[in-house]
């Protein structure tokens, strides 16, 4: 029984983590409520009549300005459900997926700019359009600010006699561009490593590892590339919110170890505008130095030197042995000649 309870606790924990993930598009999910009925729902940006086709809300507002947005909560199940509604600060995970702070963690940024009802009840197969207010503080800093809104249900289980709550949450991001001076900035901190192939007839791999830091106040998209001997290796496009850091790794294969290598790294930058377009602002260029010591080849060379040296030593020793025998034979011949004489 204890094993089954522990297993349930692990599953519940994993379900909570997965249910909290916020995708950058329309989503739906399902969860089991207390009465063992499965609840399936989706949440989308909306206008007065229902979902309007947007993936998320993109707003341009002045400091102190207020606007009304809407979310459509769609009940895809067979019974009426009361959903909890909430807003929270938004962020990007290490994999680049958008998420919002969990309900037990207090928001301090754009999540606090949103006011919406605490709950909404939706009939089976119906859609509820819920208005919510976005109010930008008068002292808000210019640039991009990320938040999220979500509809959730909570189910209960038991583990070793204790109640375990699982929150299943579905929503979308709300991006607010506060008017003012736009200051894009991207810092690149890179380093390189050479991975040796110990077969001396095979070249190795240069691994370029670097961190991207959005030091500006607007959302950026970045794509990177390294070049070597006319070959280019490109990385995936990375989205960065202001203040974000992202670790990236590129592999340049089939590179011979030639000592100190200088690998050019190019990082393209583009500001993501509220209308979804991109404004390219030019690349960041950096040279990554990589120490590529040809250890396998040096070992082969050392082996050849030792082999040749050993053969030369043995040759000299044999020659000395032959000379010794020849000299001994001559001396014996001279002794015999003196005796006969």
Task: Collect all residues with Cβ–Cβ distance below 8 Å to 61 and sequence separation of at least 6.
Answer: 67, 134, 136, 176, 177, 178, 179
Both 51 and 154 in a single domain? yes
Both 169 and 191 in a single domain? no
Both 299 and 289 in a single domain? no
Task: Collect all residues with Cβ–Cβ distance below 8 Å to 238 and sequence separation of at least 6.
Answer: 96, 212, 221, 222, 223, 224, 246, 248
pTM of the predicted structure, to 2 decimals: 0.77
Both 24 and 92 in a single domain? yes
Q: Is the pLDDT of residue 5 over 60?
A: no
The confidence band for 337, taking pLDDT boundaries of 50, 70 and 90, is confident
Both 89 and 203 in a single domain? no
**Nearest CA among 91, 92, 152 for reference residue 116:** 152
Per the prediction, the chain carries an average pLDDT of 86
Q: Is the pLDDT of residue 330 over 80?
A: no
The confidence band for 32, taking pLDDT boundaries of 50, 70 and 90, is low
Q: Are 216 and 183 within 8 A, CB to CB?
A: yes
Structurally, how many domains does the chain consist of? Answer: 3
Both 283 and 338 in a single domain? no
Domain end point (choices 178, 210, 228): 178
The confidence band for 15, taking pLDDT boundaries of 50, 70 and 90, is very low
Q: Is the pLDDT of residue 105 over 50?
A: yes
Both 164 and 197 in a single domain? no
pLDDT tens digits along 141-186: 999 999 999 999 987 665 565 556 688 999 999 999 999 999 999 9
**Nearest CA among 204, 40, 67 for reference residue 131:** 67
What are the Cα distances from residue 289, in Å, to 102, 211, 262?
Answer: 42, 16, 5
Q: Is the pLDDT of residue 64 over 90?
A: yes
* CA–CA gap between residue 258 and residue 194 (Å, rounded): 11
pLDDT tens digits along 183-197: 999 999 989 999 998
pLDDT tens digits along 300-311: 777 878 888 777
- Does residue 170 or residue 38 have the better pLDDT? 170
Task: Collect all residues with Cβ–Cβ distance below 8 Å to 12 and sequence separation of at least 6.
Answer: 157, 159, 164, 166
**Residue 332, domain extent:** 295-341
Domain end point (choices 293, 309, 330): 293
Both 48 and 125 in a single domain? yes
Q: Is the pLDDT of residue 338 over 80?
A: no
- Residue 328 is predicted with a pLDDT of 76
- Residue 133 is predicted with a pLDDT of 98
Q: Is the pLDDT of residue 10 over 50?
A: no
Both 155 and 202 in a single domain? no
Q: Any idea which residue has 């947005």 for tokens?
A: 69
- Residue 16 is predicted with a pLDDT of 40
Q: Is the pLDDT of residue 12 over 70?
A: no
Both 285 and 212 in a single domain? yes
């Amino acid at each position: 029984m204890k094993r089954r309870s522990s297993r349930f606790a692990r599953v519940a924990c994993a379900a909570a983590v997965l249910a909290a993930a916020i995708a950058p598009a329309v989503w739906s999910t399902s969860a089991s409520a207390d009465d063992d009925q499965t609840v399936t729902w989706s949440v989308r940006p909306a206008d007065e009549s229902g979902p309007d086709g947007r993936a998320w809300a993109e707003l341009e507002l002045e400091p102190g300005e207020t606007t009304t947005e809407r979310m459509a909560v769609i009940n895809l199940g067979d019974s009426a459900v009361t959903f909890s509604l909430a807003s929270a600060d938004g962020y990007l995970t290490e994999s680049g997926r958008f998420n919002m702070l969990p309900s037990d963690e207090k928001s301090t940024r754009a999540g606090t700019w949103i006011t919406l009802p605490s709950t909404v009840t939706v009939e089976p197969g119906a859609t509820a359009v819920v208005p919510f207010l976005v109010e930008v503080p008068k002292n808000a800093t210019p640039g991009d600010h990320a938040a999220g809104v979500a509809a959730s249900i909570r189910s209960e289980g038991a583990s070793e006699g204790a109640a375990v709550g699982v929150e299943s949450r579905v929503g979308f991001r709300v991006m607010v561009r506060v008017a003012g001076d736009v200051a894009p900035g991207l810092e690149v901190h890179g380093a390189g490593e050479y991975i040796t192939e110990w077969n001396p007839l095979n070249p190795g791999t240069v691994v370029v590892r670097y961190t991207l830091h959005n030091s500006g106040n607007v959302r950026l998209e970045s794509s990177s590339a390294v070049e070597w001997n006319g070959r280019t290796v490109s990385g995936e496009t990375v989205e960065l919110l202001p203040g974000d850091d992202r670790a990236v790794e590129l592999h340049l294969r089939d590179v011979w170890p030639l000592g100190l290598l200088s690998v050019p790294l190019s990082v393209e930058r583009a500001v993501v505008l509220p209308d979804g377009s991109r404004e390219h602002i030019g690349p960041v260029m950096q040279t990554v130095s990589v120490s590529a010591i040809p250890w396998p080849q040096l070992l082969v060379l050392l082996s050849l030197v030792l082999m040749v040296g050993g053969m030369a030593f043995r040759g000299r020793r044999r020659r000395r042995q032959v000379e010794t025998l020849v000299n001994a034979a001559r001396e014996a011949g001279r002794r015999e000649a003196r005796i006969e004489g």
